[in-house]
Amino acid sequence: MSIDLNARIPNNVDLADDRRLQRALESWQPSFLNWWKDLGPEGTIDYDVYLRTAISVEADGWAHFDYVKMPDYRWGIFLAPPEEDRRIPFGEHKGEPVWQEVPGEYRASLRRLIVTQGDTEPASVEQQRLLGLTCPSLYDLRNLFQVNVEEGRHLWAMVYLLHAYFGRDGREEAEAMLERHSGDPDKPRILGAFNEETPDWLSYYMFTFFTDRDGKYQLSSLAESGFDPVARTCRFMLTEEGHHMFIGTTGIARVATRTCEVMKELKTEDPEKIRAAGAIDLPMLQRYMNFHFSVSVDLFGNELSTNAANYYTAGLKGRFEETKIDDDHELSNDSYEVTLFEEDQVKQTKQNALLAVNERLRDDYIADCQAGVDRWNKILKRNKVDFEFKLPHRGFHRAIGTFAGAKISPDGQVLTEAEWTKSSKDWLPTRSDREFVRSLMTKGVVEPGKFAGWVAPPGRGINGQPLDFEYVRLH
List of residues contacting Fe ion (CB under 5 A): 121, 151, 154, 212, 241, 244
Q: Distance between CA atoms of 278 and 439, rounded to whole angstroms? A: 9
Smallest distance from the beta carbon of 240 to Fe ion, in angstroms?
7
Smallest distance from the beta carbon of 212 to Fe ion, in angstroms?
4
Q: Distance between CA atoms of 140 and 451, rounded to whole angstroms? A: 9
**SS3 of 420-457:** HHHHHHHHCCCHHHHHHHHHHCCCCCCCCCCCCCCCCC
Phi, psi of 30 (to 5 degrees): -60, -35
Name the residue nearer to Fe ion (CB basis): 241 or 322.
241
Sheet holding 64-69, edge to edge: 64-69, 48-53, 472-473
Dihedral (Cα; 29, 233, 106, 159), 10-degree rounding: -10
Name the residue nearer to Fe ion (CB basis): 231 or 279.
231
Name the residue nearer to Fe ion (CB basis): 136 or 152.
152
**What is each CA distance from 77 to 25, 161, 274, 453, in whole angstroms?**
11, 10, 47, 40
Q: Which amino acid is at 194?
A: F
b/e sequence 71-107, b meaning 16+ C-beta within 10 Å: eebbbbbbbbeeeeeeebbbbebeeeebbeebeeebe
Query: For residue 428, with 0-12 CB atoms within 10 Å meaning exposed, 13-18 middle and 19 or more buried, which class applies?
Result: middle
Smallest distance from the beta carbon of 43 to Fe ion, in angstroms?
22
Name the residue nearer to Fe ion (CB basis): 157 or 309.
157
Smallest distance from the beta carbon of 36 to Fe ion, in angstroms?
15
Q: Distance between CA atoms of 36 and 178, rounded to whole angstroms? A: 10
Name the residue nearer to Fe ion (CB basis): 233 or 424.
233
Smallest distance from the beta carbon of 244 to Fe ion, in angstroms?
4
Smallest distance from the beta carbon of 154 to Fe ion, in angstroms?
4
Name the residue nearer to Fe ion (CB basis): 159 or 338.
159
Name the residue nearer to Fe ion (CB basis): 213 or 254.
213
Name the residue nearer to Fe ion (CB basis): 78 or 396.
78
Q: Distance between CA atoms of 323 and 221, rounded to whole angstroms? A: 11
Smallest distance from the beta carbon of 385 to Fe ion, in angstroms?
31
Smallest distance from the beta carbon of 277 to Fe ion, in angstroms?
33
How wide is the angle at C-alpha 304 spanned by C-alphas 91 and 177, nearest 5°? 80
- DSSP string computed for 4-46: -TTSSS-BSS-GGG-HHHHHHHHHHHHHHHHHHHHHSSTT-TT
Please name every residue paired with 68 in a beta bridge, in sequence order, or none if there are none: 49
Q: Distance between CA atoms of 301 and 356, rounded to whole angstroms? A: 11
Name the residue nearer to Fe ion (CB basis): 200 or 241.
241
Smallest distance from the beta carbon of 117 to Fe ion, in angstroms?
8
Name the residue nearer to Fe ion (CB basis): 134 or 146.
146
Q: Distance between CA atoms of 226 and 315, rounded to whole angstroms? A: 5
Q: Distance between CA atoms of 475 and 473, rounded to whole angstroms? A: 6
Smallest distance from the beta carbon of 151 to Fe ion, in angstroms?
5
Name the residue nearer to Fe ion (CB basis): 117 or 339.
117
Contact yes or no for 362/221 (Cβ under 8 A): no
Smallest distance from the beta carbon of 255 to Fe ion, in angstroms?
20
Query: For residue 260, with 0-12 CB atoms within 10 Å meaning exposed, 13-18 middle and 19 or more buried, which class applies?
Result: buried
Q: Distance between CA atoms of 467 and 140, rounded to whole angstroms? A: 11
